[in-house]
Structure 1
């Protein structure tokens, strides 16, 4: 199971590390390894959310996500995307952007590739931060969620979900505060953040639209009813619904990759080393997503999804804060790992208690559970 799921990741890792050693020596090898670990630690919560969505997709669209999606994640987001950002913000041609990337230079060196990408960070953080914040808030205000982890927070906040468009109001409010208090160019940050909200609402809305029109394939009759927590609730999507789930996953992956791409320049100024390291990390995130789906881990450990969404909320806040203040990548990674780890421990506690028909949440609240499972 491990070899079958992670085989491609192991192979790409070996090729990437050997290539780094041959082309750049031991230093390049170490840098690629560090960047790979950085990407995995920053994106573990992404794998959990991806798994929740991927299990709802048809086999065809799962294969598309694991083939074309990997190419987009590795080459598109880790190599081409930074070049596009530098080219657009600095009004450079693609050839000129590639030339700057090959020249290297630090983020403190004015006019360098790293400097221009760093200058674009507030706009990138606003777009990605608002997209992730909308995802988190929609999940948080979902009244129909079956289980609650941080019950003392999640229950009252879920009841607030009766207020229409509350997530949008809070998201735009957070954007306005961040733009006015943290940004040097509030107008540009506001525009980027609004585009992030619009992107989320558009992809989410189109996915729900095609689901309601019955674009769910053979498993339509068994599909779970649509909920407010976003496209992750679409069951066995095919056709147009599957396409928009795929699109949603790619935008989600892009939002998660923003901080890793920009933060990588603190470790190396070589765009190819950065692309190799982050690309290897992205491969493991995809393999981990498949592993979670095949093992049914999310159903076995019911609070993992909760921990991932709280980590997403924390990442969204960090991205907004980073508009005006530097936030070390290690902080972002540790917060995500802490939420996932705490959710895993709570899930294990739940599995022990549920044999007696009880569910114990992190805040100590005990709920009756209709169907008990054997003690583990």
Structure 2
């Protein structure tokens, strides 16, 4: 009963907001808007489960206050910032329109494949968006696989990568080479892709670096050393919780991370509908809220500690998503492929975690029996 009560508390707001969003969608555009809103919500959750797992690894380091802030204030940033304001901003900059004109264009009904429409203009900005998000996620993936870890999942590749990762700034070098190749895929204005990609790298290095700086400055001494050791092994119960400036930059890092994951979903949503209200309701209020609830659930239940390969699978899914975003600069890749790749990595990591736990349990039984 307590477990059910806890789950209801975590997912209660998500369920309530989903119901309200679907009702608003129905009154806004009838059953077709209702169906589109539901489809977008399901699409966002399925595409972003790897996002939730990675978010949980960061959120696990934050105090309960900052976890609640991520679920409340953070979701407002995700809904209004990424799913509504961000597309309007991109269209306004690309088409040289003011905020009011961009909003008016967004509210006009039209084929998103027709030049001059809101969906078409946003799709034209895809190379810059993909370069920024792809480089941010690629840096996250590379810093994960280049770090030496006690537990490895794909040991045949993770261990060699960790050994060569001892070279300073290797992740930056590899990311920069990948960006050059991605810019070559851009038919028009490859220099714009280069600038966007560099901004993505700089954003990751800055936010992640500031978070680490304030996290290390916020503690110290023997207590920090004692608590930091279990944190590296993935156990959520003994992690030193970040507060103050450290937690703020971790919160900021989470928001940028969520934004990077959202790029493909926001742009891909225009293949389903160009209506910004439906996109905000489906991707934002339903999808983003559920992703946050799943994140908090993973933290509170200690799922990442129990299924130790989930974090690895999520980061490999991030690497795949980063590669897909960069390749999509010159080649169209269906959103279904993007979602299936992430689900495949997460599913494989979960299954191998279950098998590992089973083998460990059998070993312990043999030891006790002996």
Task: Indicate the RMSD between aligned Cα atoms, in angstroms.
Answer: 2.3
Give structure 1 regions of 4+ aligned residues with deviation exceeding 4 angstroms.
219-222
Distance 1:248 1:197 in 2: 13
8 A Cα contact 1:84 1:94, kept in partner: yes
Distance 1:355 1:49 in 2: 27
Q: What is the TM-score of this pair, normalised by structure 1?
A: 0.90
2:258 aligned to which of 250, 253, 265: 253
2:275 aligned to which of 270, 278, 288: 270
Instruction: Specify the alignment match of 2:306 in structure 1.
Output: 300
Matched, 1:24 2:29: yes
1:155 aligned to which of 156, 159, 177: 159
Aligned length: 356
Instruction: Specify the alignment match of 2:3 in structure 1.
Output: none
Distance 2:220 2:91 in 1: 40
8 A Cα contact 1:78 1:275, kept in partner: yes
Q: CA deviation at 1:291?
A: 0.7
Distance 1:220 1:248 in 2: 22
Q: What is the TM-score of this pair, normalised by structure 2?
A: 0.92
Distance 1:25 1:19 in 2: 9
Instruction: Specify the alignment match of 2:347 in structure 1.
Output: 341
Matched, 1:44 2:55: no
Larger helix proportion of the pair:
2
Q: CA deviation at 1:222?
A: 4.6
Distance 1:98 1:315 in 2: 30
Matched, 1:62 2:32: no
Instruction: Specify the alignment match of 1:118 in structure 2.
Output: 123
Distance 2:103 2:39 in 1: 24
Q: 1:271 to 1:353 in 2, by over 3 A?
A: same
Matched, 1:180 2:184: yes
Q: CA deviation at 1:238?
A: 1.0
- 1:179-218 residue pairs with structure 2 within 5 A? 179-214=183-218
1:134 aligned to which of 136, 139, 147: 139
Instruction: Specify the alignment match of 1:351 in structure 2.
Output: 357
Matched, 1:80 2:85: yes
Distance 2:305 2:183 in 1: 39
* Per-residue Cα deviation, 1:291-316 (whole angstroms, up to 9, x for no partner): 10111100000000011000000000
* Per-residue Cα deviation, 1:27-77 (whole angstroms, up to 9, x for no partner): 111100110011011100000011111110012211211111011011111
Distance 2:289 2:241 in 1: 24
Instruction: Specify the alignment match of 1:95 in structure 2.
Output: 100
Instruction: Specify the alignment match of 2:40 in structure 1.
Output: 35
Instruction: Specify the alignment match of 1:290 in structure 2.
Output: 296
Matched, 1:165 2:169: yes
Q: 1:373 to 1:268 in 2, by over 3 A?
A: farther
Query: Where does the alignment leave 5 or more consecutive residues of structure 2 unmatched?
Result: 1-5
Distance 1:130 1:104 in 2: 33
Matched, 1:10 2:7: no
* Per-residue Cα deviation, 1:230-254 (whole angstroms, up to 9, x for no partner): xxx9841111111100000000000
Q: CA deviation at 1:357?
A: 5.0
Distance 2:17 2:367 in 1: 40
* Per-residue Cα deviation, 1:182-207 (whole angstroms, up to 9, x for no partner): 44211000000000000000011111
What's the secondary structure of 2:261's corresponding residue?
helix
Q: 1:331 to 1:373 in 2, by over 3 A?
A: farther
8 A Cα contact 1:74 1:282, kept in partner: yes
Of 99-108 and 332-341, more deviation after overlay is shown by 99-108
Q: CA deviation at 1:211?
A: 2.1
